C-alpha cells in the first residue's frame, strides 16, 4: 500500500475523494504515493484561510518570521539526503542532483530568514518645508504560487520562502507529476511554526486549481513558473482579477562555441547544459551554435562523450542522466527527433529508446548536426535531451543566431577571447549570461529570470525578490 498525501489547508490535512498516483519514472511499477486531487472548492477554502491568517502574520515581527524560516531551513538541510532521494525517485534526476536541490532549498530558506530581518525603508527629504517623507515596504497579501515538476523543491522554496519572509500568506499549487517532495517541504515549513492558514497546499489538476487561484479577487499576487502554453493565460486571469503577477517560462537557450574555445571545456559545458537532468531544465542549452573552425572537432568530441554517458535509474550510483519524467514527455521528445530528421538535420547520436533493468522512460540523448536556425527543432522548446548544432561563420553570425528567438532566458559562450566574452555579456538578449559555464546551474542568492517571452514581471530570488513580495508605501509626515 502506498502512502496517501492530503491537501494542507488552514493547518489541517484535507483528503479528497479522488487521488492521483505519483509514479517513479525510473521504474513505472513503483508508486511513490497517492496524492489528493482537490477541486476549486479546496482552492477557495485555502484562499479564505490565507486571507484570514494574513491579518496576524502580516503583523508578526521579523524575528518570528526569521525563526520559522531558519528552523525550516535547518530541517531541510538535515534531511537533504532523504528529500533528495524522494525527489529523484519521483522526478528522475540523478540522486546527487536531487540531494543538491534539497540542499539548495534549505539554503534558500536560510537566506530568506535573513531577509526577513533586513527589510528596510528610506527616509527622503521632502521638497516642502516641515514635511518628511518615508518609503516603506509592506507585505502584498495572499500569494498564489504555481510551480512546475522539474525543480519540485527549489522552485517552491524560492517562491514560498520570500513570500513568508516578507509577511505574506501563501496558497501553493505544485505540479501533479512530482508532488511528494513539495508536499514534504510544505509540511516542514508548517511544523517549523507557521500559524494555520499562513501556508496552504492544494494539489489537483492544474487546469482546475490554477485558474481558481489566478482568477480569484482574494489573491493579491500570482507567481507562476511553467510553460509558455500556460503562463500568458495565468497572467491574463490575474490582471483581470487585479493581482500582481510574475511569470517564469520556457527557453530555447543558445550556447556559442567559438574557434578559440578550449575543446574539453566546450564539450563538458555543452553536454552538461544540453543533456544533464534529461534536458528538463528551462535553462538547458538546446541550440549549440558553433563556428566553422572548431565545428568538426567539437562534433567528434561531443559524440564521443555522449557515447560514454551513463543513462540509468536515477537512484543507481553512477547514473549521469536519468529517465525523462513521463510517457507524454518521452513521446514529445521522440516526435521532435523525427521532426528534426524530416526537416533535413542529421541525427549523429542517440535519439532512441533505451531498455534498462526496470521499465522506465529512458532515451538516449539526441544530437543533430547540419541544422538551420529556422527549423522547428531550433525554434520550439522541446524540454528533453535533444540538442542541435548550427554551424556559423564567425562570432557576429553566432550572436545574431543566438538572439534570433522570441525566448531570452539563458545564453552561454565558450571562448578564451575576453573581447568576445565581454561583447556577448553586453549584447546577449537574455536574462542570464554564462561564459565558459553551462547555461543551466545557478547561485541561489542572486536574481534569476529571463527576457522577451521567457519571463514577465520582476525577477525572482536574492534580494531582488522583495520587488514582487512587498508593496511600497510612501508616507508624508508633518511632525
Look-up of cell digits 491537501: 7
Among 282, 349, 381, 460, the one annotated catalytic: 282
At closest approach, how far in Å is the CB of 230 from ligand NAD? Answer: 4
- Cβ proximity to ligand NAD: between 44 and 233 the closer is 233
Residues 6+ apart with CB under 8 A from 412: 253, 254, 255, 256, 269, 273, 285, 433, 434, 435, 437, 438, 439
| Alpha carbon distances (Å) from 109 to 24, 159, 183, 355 | 27, 10, 16, 39
At closest approach, how far in Å is the CB of 225 from ligand NAD? Answer: 5
Cα gap 479→471, rounded to integer Å: 25
SS3 category, 233: helix
At closest approach, how far in Å is the CB of 119 from ligand NAD? Answer: 25
- Cβ proximity to ligand NAD: between 18 and 292 the closer is 18
Beta bridge partners of 222: 144, 245
Catalytic residue flag (residue 282): yes
Cα gap 118→471, rounded to integer Å: 15
Q: Which residues bind ligand NAD (CB under 6 A)?
A: 146-151, 173, 175-176, 206-207, 210-211, 214, 225-227, 230, 233-234, 248-251, 282, 381, 383, 409, 450, 454
- Cβ proximity to ligand NAD: between 233 and 293 the closer is 233
- Cβ proximity to ligand NAD: between 230 and 306 the closer is 230
- Cβ proximity to ligand NAD: between 142 and 234 the closer is 234
Among 248, 349, 381, 460, the one annotated catalytic: 248
- Cβ proximity to ligand NAD: between 111 and 158 the closer is 158
Dihedrals φ, ψ of 277, to 5°? 55, 35
At closest approach, how far in Å is the CB of 214 from ligand NAD? Answer: 6
- Cβ proximity to ligand NAD: between 66 and 172 the closer is 172
CB count, 10 Å around CB of 132?
14
Active site residues: 248, 282
Amino acid at each position: 500500500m502506498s502512502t496517501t498525501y492530503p491537501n494542507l489547508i488552514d493547518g489541517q490535512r484535507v483528503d479528497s475523494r479522488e487521488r492521483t498516483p505519483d509514479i517513479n519514472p525510473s521504474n513505472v511499477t513503483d508508486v511513490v504515493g497517492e496524492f489528493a486531487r482537490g477541486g476549486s472548492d479546496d482552492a477557495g477554502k485555502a484562499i479564505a484561510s490565507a486571507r484570514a491568517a494574513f491579518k496576524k502574520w502580516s503583523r508578526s515581527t521579523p524575528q518570528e518570521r526569521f525563526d520559522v524560516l531558519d528552523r525550516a531551513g535547518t530541517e531541510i538541510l538535515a534531511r537533504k539526503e532523504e528529500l533528495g532521494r524522494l525527489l529523484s525517485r519521483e522526478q528522475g534526476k540523478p540522486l546527487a542532483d536531487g540531494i543538491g536541490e534539497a540542499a539548495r532549498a534549505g539554503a534558500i530558506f536560510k537566506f530568506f530568514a535573513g531577509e526577513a530581518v533586513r527589510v528596510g525603508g528610506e527616509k527622503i527629504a521632502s521638497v516642502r518645508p516641515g514635511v518628511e517623507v518615508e518609503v516603506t515596504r509592506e507585505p502584498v497579501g495572499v500569494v498564489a504560487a504555481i510551480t512546475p515538476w522539474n525543480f519540485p523543491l527549489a522552485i517552491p522554496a524560492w517562491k514560498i520562502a520570500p513570500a513568508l519572509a516578507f509577511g505574506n500568506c501563501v496558497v501553493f499549487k505544485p505540479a501533479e507529476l512530482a508532488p511528494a517532495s513539495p508536499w514534504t517541504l510544505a509540511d516542514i515549513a508548517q511544523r517549523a511554526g507557521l500559524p494555520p492558514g499562513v501556508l496552504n497546499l492544494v494539489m489537483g489538476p492544474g487546469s482546475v486549481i490554477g485558474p481558481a487561484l489566478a482568477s480569484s479577487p482574494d489573491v493579491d499576487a500570482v507567481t507562476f513558473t511553467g510553460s509558455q502554453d500556460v503562463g500568458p493565460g495565468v497572467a491574463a486571469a490575474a490582471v483581470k482579477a487585479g493581482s500582481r503577477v510574475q511569470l517564469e517560462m520556457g527557453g530555447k537557450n543558445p550556447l556559442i562555441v567559438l574557434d578559440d574555445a578550449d575543446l574539453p571545456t566546450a564539450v563538458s559545458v555543452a553536454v552538461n547544459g544540453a543533456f544533464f537532468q534529461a534536458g528538463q531544465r528551462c535553462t538547458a542549452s538546446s541550440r549549440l551554435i558553433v563556428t566553422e573552425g572548431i565545428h568538426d572537432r567539437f562534433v567528434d568530441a561531443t559524440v564521443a562523450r555522449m557515447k560514454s554517458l551513463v543513462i540509468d535509474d536515477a537512484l543507481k550510483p553512477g547514473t549521469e542522466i536519468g529517465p525523462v519524467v513521463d510517457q507524454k514527455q518521452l513521446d514529445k521528445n521522440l516526435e521532435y527527433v523525427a521532426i528534426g530528421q524530416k526537416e533535413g538535420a542529421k541525427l549523429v547520436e542517440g535519439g532512441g529508446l533505451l531498455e534498462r533493468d526496470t521499465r522506465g522512460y529512458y532515451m538516449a540523448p539526441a544530437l543533430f548536426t547540419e541544422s538551420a536556425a529556422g527549423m522547428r527543432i531550433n525554434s520550439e522548446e522541446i524540454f528533453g535531451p535533444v540538442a542541435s548544432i548550427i554551424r556559423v561563420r564567425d562570432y557576429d553570425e553566432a550572436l545574431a543566431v543566438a538572439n534570433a528567438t522570441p525566448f531570452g532566458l539563458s545564453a552561454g559562450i565558450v571562448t578564451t577571447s575576453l573581447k568576445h566574452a565581454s561583447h556577448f555579456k553586453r549584447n546577449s538578449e537574455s536574462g542570464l549570461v554564462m561564459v565558459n559555464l553551462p547555461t543551466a546551474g545557478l547561485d541561489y542568492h542572486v536574481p534569476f529570470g529571463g527576457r522577451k517571452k521567457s519571463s514577465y514581471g520582476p525577477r525572482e530570488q536574492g534580494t531582488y525578490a522583495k520587488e514582487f513580495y512587498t508593496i511600497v508605501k510612501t508616507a508624508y509626515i508633518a511632525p
